[in-house]
Amino acid sequence: MTDVKDAFLPTESGAFRIYSYAFDDPNNPHIALVTNDLDLSEPIWLRIHSECLTGDVFGSLRCDCGFQLRKSLDLIQRFGGMLIYLRQEGRGIGLHNKIGAYALQDEGYDTIEANHKLGFGSDLRNYEPAVKILKEWNVNRVRLISNNPLKKLYLETHGIEISELFPMIKPVDPYNEAYLRTKREKMGHHLPQE
C-alpha cells in the first residue's frame, strides 16, 4: 500500500489538491497536483515535470523548466487534469552535480557533454513513479504536455494512451539558446528550428 497524504493547495494558477506519494523516500516524495474537475471519461491534460530547483524556484533563464511548469499549471487548471512532479533533479544527477554541470557549460560544453564529463549518462530520469501515480488514479488516456519523445514512448509502453502531444515551447533567448538547441538536436525534443 502506497503511503499517500493529500491536502487543498491554492496556487497562482488556481486551486488544486496536492498528493504526496512516498514510494521510496518519505523525505523526497513525488507529488501530484490534481484539479477538482478531473474527468476520466476524456483524456486528461497531463504534465510530468522533473524537479528543477534553479528553474522552478529561482526562475533560471538557462533552461525552460520554470516556464514549462507555470504554463502547464495554467493549462491544467483551465481544462482539468494533473501535474506530476518527480523528484529527480538535473535529469537524475542531483542538484550538486547539476551545479557542476552548469560550471562546465560556462566553459563551453553543452548540457549533454557536461553530464558525460562528470561521468553520467545524458538523461537518468525514470518515469516509473509517474506511471504508478497514473495507475492509482485509473488514468489510461492523456493529453501529454511535453516536448520529450522519450517521455511519450515510456508512457505508451506502459499502457498509457497519448491522445495528443502538446509541446510547451519557451521562446529562445540568449541564455537558453544553446540549451534548447541541444535538446532539439541531441535529444530529439519537439522544438522549432532557430
Catalytically active residues are 123, 125
Three-class SS state of 111: helix
Regarding beta strands 3-11 and 30-34, do their DSSP bridges make them parallel or antiparallel, or are they unpaired?
unpaired
Please state, in angstroms and rounded to a whole number, the distance separating the CA atoms of residues 139 and 30. 17
Please state, in angstroms and rounded to a whole number, the distance separating the CA atoms of residues 98 and 46. 26
Grid cell 535529469 is found at: 91
CA–CA–CA angle 26, 153, 66 (5° rounding): 55
Please state, in angstroms and rounded to a whole number, the distance separating the CA atoms of residues 182 and 30. 27
